[in-house]
Structure 1
Amino acid sequence: MGQKTNPIGLRLGIIKGWDSNWYGGKNFAPKLIEDDKIRKYLHARLAKAGISKIIIERTLKLVTVNIFTARPGIIIGKGGQEVDRLKEELKKVTKKEIQINISEIKRPELDAVIVANTIARQIEGRISYRRAIKTAIASTMRIGAEGIKVLISGRLGGAEMARSEMYKEGRTPLHTLRADIDYTLTEAHTTYGRIGIKVWICKGEIYGKPELVPTIGIGSKSKQAGPRGKAPRKRR
């Protein structure tokens, strides 16, 4: 089971939290669609900012967008001008007040999204896929990861027939639910087709009960609500 499913989805509510934290009720579907629009817009608008993930929180009148990035300077801009411009643009999308919080990723080599995007950009720049992957693996292990696995599929090197290759180092225990596994899937667009890239990074194991829901900009009622539209029951 652990080998086939998304490692982040498998660990939701155990050691991983949700990317959307709000209580929707009957308006769940429109809010979910709005969250998707916000994420797509930000990823397109800030393609060079090294965005890892976007966590969206909602109160009655406020939408809080938490952006985790490796290059916060690109988003903030000179004197915070870019952030103010971004707020105005998102207001047009949501028709609500927007608050933007930017968090810097101190060690981007341990972030699966950033590692996968780095490999994809290098392949699009005509660098050998083997060289790009081995460089990424070496950097990740040097920073302190317990393990990394990279699966690449497609017409590798412009070959006539598509194939898959896997590169790994260290341990990535997908069945161990307390293992802190970061995962992503991305694509490199080349002249001979699309190349799929999957990255798993094991950062260690988490013991105890971690804080799953961020508390930035959320009211006391919203803290208890998951993104599925109903507040979870308290365990006895």
Structure 2
Amino acid sequence: MGQKIHPYGFRLGVIHKHHANWFADKKNYSAYFFEDLYIREFLDQQLANTGILKVHIARQPFNSIHISLFCIKTNYFLTPGRNNLKTIQTKLQTLLANYQISSKIIWNFPNKINQYNQPLRLSVQLIDHPNYEQNALFLAQFLIDQLEKRIAFRRAVKKTLKRFKKDTIYGIKIQISGRVNGAEIARTEWVREGQVPLQTLSANIDYTFRTAKTIYGILGIKIWIFQKN
């Protein structure tokens, strides 16, 4: 039986860097870790379909949190007359404080700071790279939109593969699992174009896993992209 490993975590320290930048001792590490998960889940729910491709979390001195959102469009955040970024930042800071209280997180800091009023700052960075459409998360969101509109999965996969450009990436693999096209028995379908060497550490593999909520149930979607360095 083949053993699988996350392509991104497999290459950490070799060609990839962490999506979070902070240091903690063994007493506070688990609290920071679950806080990061809570922040990412909140942003995934609130900012779905807004073009965000990456979230970077950095913790600075005095326990302040800086969250950077890398997106392909800023229409949602730069709406005239509304400051959506400030609204989300205020809401997240309130929910984060309530989460810390409800989970009874105990911080161990030498200096006495208010643990439930952490300074939090959100910033948006625009991705100007012309090949952002070759990002695994972008293609996954496009495929999810097609499947949730009840388009046949083979046709949806073909539409996704049309965005595949051989001059920018070496290969792509798409896998869909679940009740595909409403079948009674769940199965796994996959298609691959080009080469996707998952065991090569020097290969720049972009990977994502997302779920599509269809009327027949949830479909699991995995995409691997072998990008050129």
TM-score category, normalised to shorter length:
0.7 to 0.9
Aligned to 1:91: 93
Quickly say closer, same or farther: Cα 1:24–1:78, change in 2 above 3 A.
farther
- Residue 197 of structure 1, CA deviation: 0.9
Contact 2:176–2:221 at 8 Å: present in 1 too?
A: yes
1:127-146 to 2 correspondences below 5 Å: 127-141=151-165, 144-146=168-170
Superposition CA RMSD, Å: 2.1
1:74 counterpart SS class: coil
Contact 2:49–2:141 at 8 Å: present in 1 too?
A: no
Unaligned runs of 5+ in 2: 98-116
Aligned to 1:82: 84
Aligned to 1:179: 203
Unaligned runs of 5+ in 1: 206-236
Tell me which protein shows more helix as a share of its residues. 1
Give aligned pairs, total.
205
Moved more, 142-151 or 61-70: 142-151
Aligned to 2:12: 12
Q: Deviations over 1:84-133 (max 9, x none)?
A: 22222222225322222212233332111121121112101111211111
Q: Whole-Å Cα distance in 2 between the matches of residues 3 and 167 of structure 1?
A: 20
1:140 counterpart SS class: coil
With normalisation by structure 2, the TM-score equals 0.82
Letter in 2 for 1:100: L
1:1-236 to 2 correspondences below 5 Å: 4-25=4-25, 26-61=27-62, 62-78=64-80, 81-92=83-94, 93-94=96-97, 95-105=117-127, 106=129, 107-141=131-165, 144-205=168-229
Taking only the aligned residue pairs, the percentage that are identical comes to: 36
- Residue 2 of structure 1, CA deviation: 9.6
Q: Whole-Å Cα distance in 1 between the matches of residues 81 and 38 of structure 2?
A: 27
Contact 1:77–1:83 at 8 Å: present in 2 too?
A: no
- Residue 79 of structure 1, CA deviation: 6.3
- Residue 199 of structure 1, CA deviation: 0.2
With normalisation by structure 1, the TM-score equals 0.80
